[in-house]
Structure 1
């Protein structure tokens, strides 16, 4: 029986996206049909898989297909499939709201973007699927019945903030989307979507590779308007770049072309084909916990699952595409995949192929592609230095970093090693929250004075991988802010003897803050700096751990003094002449506070530091 129609409101983010589509700035309106056909194809894939796994499912799988019908008289365009269909709850969840991660962030960025081309890029990063219908329709009616269910659902909206939904009987299995097209005089003649010729052109351009038949009626005859040839199964010489681009948009739900296409075919003990893509933009949910990752898995051209995580590691979660294996069971589950030896071998080869492809992009003629890739995905790739020990060298080969060599240009580790000075044994680096804070750090002074290049590492992940990775091409990584550095120091044995008493007293006086006070070989102009022991956690990493709720024991660091600085030499003279005093202890406290502030640290008692500083400044007047 039919229930009365219920009127509901769209989720607020969905309403905003609907308005965006109705007043779309996206120039190519034809892509709405690609989105609807892709949804229909997904529904057919899911039904075939569900019917295979559930032998008792009451579903008709004899003639799975997509049908497109035009009605010029009533100005409607209908896209039908006899796939899995949707229940009432599915419709509300998938269409009434937007569950995809990053919606709010997307809308925020879109509002901030004034440039239309940049806005189109943002739309492409988000992928709006069904909502694209409102670019060409002023009303959309959706009729659907989930396979195995007796009840159907009718959904309708004009995209103005509300929609109606009701339960209806006697609907066929699957989903039918009816677009009530905008008035003809409101559209350019190029966008006549009641024209069968126009629709066939769009299908041929965007959806020819769909593996299900897409049918239209011409006169008395029903014709299939797509070739249904899986792109990954065709010889590469028979596939055009445009076809690759459209297939990528289909599997990635992206409106932009991919940055790079990767094909792989294995024969022998076990066979598989892979068609992978590196996107041109990072998705908005790249660093969100609830993100989806992985590529599509097929077995003998039969769709098995989306987001097959077993085939792609976490740090390559942005890679999109398809893997078609010949020897897996059609009944394979995610749990079985984690243990399957063939899947593990496929994954290993896919990872190596992706990393080697990125390395080829570093060649001069392709450098713009690599620069784009690293800007968008570099932070994610560096996570692999912690997780993927087998490919650590390959990952290091494709990494690029800012350095003190050229503020305008990133450098690879290979380029850094080639520029190393004769006798230099370490790859020097400094981590921090920004390039500006690192460039102003006293830790760099002696390295800059002697012409040593230092990597400038400002990503949070940098704080972690540098401790996990020992080196590159037999050169060890060395923080310029940790341990003792050998830079042909000008500090003499005589100076060490002269300062020994002061250093011992300062170590005792500042024992609550530092574990040791010593002379420095890394300072040229600053009076003091604070460094960590070789295996100490850095202050930034300590903050990160505490922010995640992990309590750490107090980590005392080392105060290093520049014996050539007038403040330090004056402190030594005062200590030698007068010995311990309250004023000298306060000066020591100020010296430590200055060193802490210089590296961007936080004072334990800013009010006391300010009071001591004011008192000492007053004495100089």
Structure 2
């Protein structure tokens, strides 16, 4: 005999439903995702309860979810052939919200709402009441179910306001009840009926949120979720063309990805990941700066598009999905409750991605350079990842003085292999271009000694070097700060120019010339001294503290809006012809104005090379005067020769 029971919602439950319907969910599409997720869970439970082990496709239409709409009647129907429910289960799972204690739940809810509206979602999440999101769109819901264990068909009916009714259906009424599983009839709010009875809208929602549910989902007899959740399949069973197809589906990019990282991880947290390295990158374009992140799924259901907690920003070029069953979620699945688990997933995923890059760099250099060309602009920001500093250091690439052009690259391992015997430093030099680095006065002693120098072209490269500091017992040292005494222990290169030594008279006059230069420049320089690092240039500027490079100093000054010219030491090359001439001039006339004029010219030329010369007018005028004098001397000399 059929029995029909009516249950009144308690006042706090009515209040909760009001919050669910009007305050919690911002996107009404979510109700369909929640109901499909419940249906998928019911199908999972049936498989586990009955020992089913076959894949959904092999199970046939028996295990499936069907959705159809009646536009005229303003109704939406969702059916599954899952485990179904008994009366007791119906009361526990559907009839009672927060069955762990409604009064305690509402007390916490009220307190949370008073403190922070955003805390409401997090609190409700602990009680799992996603089914009730249906009342965002429904005026009434009729749920009909029959347990797979047998027993009568039952219906649960409620308008979500005052009460619900559980009815044990008589044989005549149960004729249309499911043989096993649950059937939900949603009588839609008239204002929303046109939207949620439109098959295209329903398909769009399924493809957005539930596209990878393992069981077939049909909308009006058309299967919607046709793309398999490839990340759940064993790697050895997947062909390269399947990865390519999934990458194209995910990104709309028709090109082959550079690499695929497919991982099934059991500890410290269980998750599956399928991520790709695209062949091209967006860099830091303003419109693309926030367009990154991995799609986060829980049991194949999309929870968050472009989650930015799963990877650090320096790996933001990575595209793909992460799926976990361990993640606790709030009711709306829009705010994640436990960032600790996300942190563990992130840490593990970063190691797998860096491992794939290391393998690529070792076994397929051409492909790695393709990656570097596409993504180095973003990847270089990894110098801030101190937990993976050594692995990052192994992966960075630079141009070098040993290369023929700026397109060739080397890593720190390559530099170490080519280092001279007894060398314990990796030297680097910053410049806006390869030509600028080659012409830098600081590169001259390395050229003379045949020692390799890494060329840095971007400001971030210096931050990388400062972060790494040491690599395989080698210290990273700026060419500006290289110890001349350390470099002098190495033999000169075979093609290094040999300068004639100063004679005793020139040696005696050199300190006087340096003193005249210091007097001419005054406190614009901290010191004027003979240089052991120069071979081609007459002078160079060196930071007196020997700690901050010129390029880093400029970055710091830009940040602090300091436009002043820094005080530096001026190093003079006694072997340069110009300095030799200045010595001869000084020997004949210690007060000759040419020495002061040359000092000004050399100092401003050094400033120009360092990028500190704010006003070049005096420099240009002085050059023109010197050219005029020099051309006059040249004409006079030529006339005497011709006579």
Q: TM-score range by the shorter chain?
A: 0.5 to 0.7
**Aligned partner (choices 588, 595, 599) of residue 588 of structure 1:** 599
| Equivalent residue number for residue 570 of structure 2 | 559
Match of 2:194 in 1: 171
CA distance in 2, matches of 1:539, 1:382: 21
Equivalent residues of 1:297, 1:306 under 8 A apart: yes
Tell which deviates more after alignment, 426-435 or 465-474.
Answer: 465-474
Aligned to 1:33: none
Once the two structures are overlaid, the 10-residue window that deviates more, 466-475 or 570-579, is: 570-579
**Distance (Å, rounded) in 2 between the aligned partners of 1:63 and 1:249:** 26
Following the alignment from structure 2 to structure 1, what is the Cα–Cα distance between the partners of residues 321 and 544?
A: 48
Q: Within the alignment, does 1:318 sit opposite 2:341 as a pair?
A: no
Structure 2: gaps of 5 or more residues = 1-19, 38-64, 69-76, 79-133, 139-190, 202-209, 490-498, 633-643
- In the alignment, the residues of structure 2 paired with residue 399 and residue 498 of structure 1 have an alpha-carbon distance, to the nearest angstrom, of 49
2:396 is aligned, of 399, 403, 407, to: 399
2: CA distance, partners of 1:334 / 1:451: 60
TM-score normalised by the chain length of structure 1 = 0.63
2:290 match: 291
Structure 1 unaligned regions, length at least 5:
1-49, 69-80, 83-145, 151-167, 179-206
Report matched runs for 1:240-319 at 5 Å.
Answer: 240-268=239-267, 270-283=269-282, 285=284, 290-319=289-318
- Aligned CA distance change for structure 1 residues 56 and 455 (closer, same or farther; 3 Å): closer
Aligned counterpart for 1:369 among listed residues 364, 367, 370: 367
1:292-441 matched pairs, under 5 angstroms: 292-331=291-330, 340-364=339-363, 366-385=364-383, 387-408=384-405, 409-441=408-440
2:287 and 2:579 mapped to 1: Cα distance?
Answer: 48
- Following superposition, the deviation at residue 377 of structure 1 comes to 1.2
Tell me if structure 2 keeps the 8 A contact 1:212–1:228: no
Distance 1:422 1:608 in 2: 47
Contact 2:213 2:301 in 1 (8 A): no
Instruction: Give the match's secondary structure for 2:484.
Output: coil
Q: Which range is displaced more, 552-561 or 433-442? A: 552-561
Count of residue pairs brought into register by the alignment: 450
Contact 2:541 2:606 in 1 (8 A): yes
Aligned-residue RMSD, C-alpha: 4.1
Residue 617 (structure 1) aligns with = 627
**C-alpha displacement of 1:431:** 0.7
Tell me what 1:519 maps to. Answer: 530
In 1, the alpha carbon distance for the partners of 2:459 and 2:273 equals 33
Deviations 1:404-462 (A, max 9, x none): 11224211111110110112221111111111211222322221122111111112311
Q: Distance in 2 between matches of 1:293 and 1:54?
A: 26
* In structure 1, C-alpha distance between the alignment counterparts of 2:335 and 2:136, rounded to whole Å: 26
| Pair 1:54 & 2:14 matched | no
Give SS of 2:451's match.
coil
TM-aligned CA distance change 1:400 to 1:175, over 3 Å: farther
- Does 2:478 correspond to 1:479? yes
Structure 1 Cα separation of the partners of residues 371 and 22 of structure 2: 39
Could you tell me whether the CA contact under 8 Å between 1:300 and 1:326 is conserved in 2? yes
CA distance in 2, matches of 1:492, 1:212: 89
The answer to whether 1:572 aligns with 2:577 is: no
Q: CA deviation at 1:567?
A: 0.7
Q: In the superposition, relative to structure 1, how do residues 402 and 606 fare at CA in structure 2: closer, same or farther (>3 Å)?
A: same
CA distance in 2, matches of 1:317, 1:438: 31
Q: Which residue of 2 aligns with 1:43?
A: none
Deviates more, 1:485-494 or 1:238-247: 485-494
CA contact 2:262–2:274 (8 Å) conserved in 1: yes
Aligned to 1:97: none
Q: Answer yes or no: is the 8 Å Cα contact 1:57–1:147 preserved in 2.
A: no
Alignment CA distance shift 1:508-1:423 (3 Å): farther
- How many angstroms apart in 2 are the aligned matches of 1:436 and 1:553? 27
Instruction: Decide whether the 8 Å contact of 2:432 with 2:458 is kept in 1.
Output: yes
Q: Secondary structure at the match of 2:261?
A: strand
Deviation, 1:504, is 3.5
- Residues 560, 147 of structure 1: alpha-carbon distance in 2 compared, 3 angstrom cutoff: farther
- Report the CA distance between 1:239 and its aligned residue: 2.2
Q: TM-score, normalised by structure 2?
A: 0.61
In structure 1, C-alpha distance between the alignment counterparts of 2:523 and 2:542, rounded to whole Å: 16
Q: 1:540 to 1:350 in 2, by over 3 A?
A: same
Against the structure 1 CA distance between its residues 510 and 242, is the aligned structure 2 distance closer, same or farther, given a 3 Å change threshold? same
Alpha-carbon offset, residue 493 of structure 1 = 12
Q: Secondary structure at the match of 1:171?
A: helix
Structure 2 CA distance for partners of 1:412 and 1:269, relative to 1, 3 Å: closer
**Separation (CA, whole Å) in 2 of partners of 1:174 and 1:316:** 41
Between the aligned partners of 1:262 and 1:453, the Cα distance in structure 2 is 35
311 and 55 in structure 1: CA distance in 2 versus 1, 3 angstrom threshold: closer
Give the 3-state SS of the residue equivalent to 1:261 in structure 2. strand
Give 3-state SS (helix, strand or coil) of 1:276's partner: strand
Give the 3-state SS of the residue equivalent to 1:481 in structure 2.
helix
